Amino acid sequence: MKLNYSLIRGFFSILLLSLPLGVLAQSNSVMEVSSNLIMERLLFGAIILILIIGLVISEVVRKSQKKRNFQSYKAQKEKIAYLEEKLKETEKRIVKTAPVNKPKVVEEEAMAYTSSRLRGVGNLGALEVEENDDIGDLTMVSTHNIGKKREIQPKELVEATIETAKKSLPENVSIATQIGGAPVIVVNQNLLTKSLSALIRCSANTIKGNGKITVSLYASMGEAQISISDNGQGWGYKGQSTEELKALELAKKILLSQGATFEMNTQEKKGTEMVISISSK
């Protein structure tokens, strides 16, 4: 029987060629398993990273809330301490009982007993009292940042400020306005009205005898400028209340937080001018 060597050679050639294909298929299978394992590990790592980021954000939010709560508590505590101090001062000034034969004097002394921050408004039939606790109000609004920033016409801001302040000015002080055009500003109206009103009232307290406060609004170098001037004794005069100086510092702090600048020029026995500049946004 004669062997066909060409067929044998062909068979072994096919067998040898098929071996690498099998190895290659097995190699591809291993690579797929390795790739799947890598993907699973990456996915697991991504989940762990997201959880860690979530925990960090949660901790930051918790600490921020705790800080705000502490600031709120501190502000309320300061206001309570201030009111308690005012109450103690008030108790010390309570008028003693007068003799029976001098009822009129008692009435006059009782009427004389009012805080420098209280003013009677009304007619003969009724007495309406309005309280102005500038330090307490400024502390509260600066701590809680009550209100939101919005676009506002400076004229609207000045008119609201004057309306708020004039109700509590002493009778010996008049208020005048000079309102011009000014660009639109973006501010927290509540904070600025409180601050400017406090400055106007404190300026009024520097005036002895009849006097006047002038509130002006004008535009300068693309800014809205508000001027508060008086013809009083000048800030820092001998005997000036420390409460007024503290109110000034609080008002300045609030104005600066709103992006405004504050300038003050005072002359003893001649008066003071305060200029608040607010950039248009």
Q: What pLDDT is recorded for position 276?
A: 94
Residue 204 lies in a domain: yes
Count how many Cα atoms sit within 13 Å of the Cα of residue 108 in the half-sphere of its side chain: 4
Distance separating alpha carbons of residues 273 and 18, to the nearest angstrom? 100
Q: What pLDDT is recorded for position 110?
A: 35
Residue 93 lies in a domain: no
Q: What pLDDT is recorded for position 13?
A: 56
Q: Supply the angle between the helices 242-257 and 134-144 in degrees, to the nearest 10.
A: 30
Handedness of CA 8, 14, 17, 22 (dihedral sign): negative
Distance separating alpha carbons of residues 111 and 108, to the nearest angstrom? 5
Residue 55 lies in a domain: no
Residue type, 141: V
Do 199 and 274 contact (CB within 8 A), yes or no? yes
Number of domains in the chain: 1
Q: What pLDDT is recorded for position 120?
A: 36
What is residue 53's three-state secondary structure?
A: helix
Do 198 and 251 contact (CB within 8 A), yes or no? yes
Do 184 and 155 contact (CB within 8 A), yes or no? no
Q: What pLDDT is recorded for position 266?
A: 92
Q: What is the pLDDT along the chain (281 residues), one digit of tens a residue?
A: 444 555 555 555 554 445 454 544 555 566 676 778 888 888 888 898 898 998 899 888 888 888 888 887 777 777 787 777 777 777 666 544 444 443 343 333 333 333 333 333 333 333 333 445 667 777 776 666 666 888 889 998 899 888 888 888 888 999 999 988 888 998 888 888 888 988 998 899 899 889 999 999 998 888 999 999 999 998 887 778 888 888 888 889 988 988 899 999 999 888 999 999 998 76
Residue 124 lies in a domain: no
Q: What is the DSSP letter of 272?
A: E
Alpha helices in the chain (DSSP H): 5-92, 103-112, 134-144, 154-166, 189-205, 242-257
Burial class (CB in 10 A: 0-12, 13-18, 19+), 207: buried
Domain extent, residue 174, equals 147-279
Q: What pLDDT is recorded for position 80?
A: 81
Listed in sequence order, the residues at least 6 apart from 273 whose beta carbon sits closer than 8 Å to its beta carbon are 227, 228, 229, 264, 265, 266
What is residue 229's three-state secondary structure?
A: strand
User: Could you count the other beta carbons within 10 Å of the beta carbon of residue 153?
Assistant: 15
Residue 266 lies in a domain: yes
Q: What pLDDT is recorded for position 14?
A: 54
Residue 188 lies in a domain: yes
For residue 278, give the nearest of 144, 168, 161 by alpha carbon: 161
For residue 95, give the nearest of 86, 84, 103, 106 by alpha carbon: 106
Q: What pLDDT is recorded for position 84?
A: 75
Residue 183 lies in a domain: yes
CA dihedral 232, 237, 240, 243 (to 10 degrees): 90
Angle 48-52-58 (CA atoms, 0-180°, nearest 5)? 145
Residue 181 lies in a domain: yes
CATH number at residue 265: 3.30.565.10
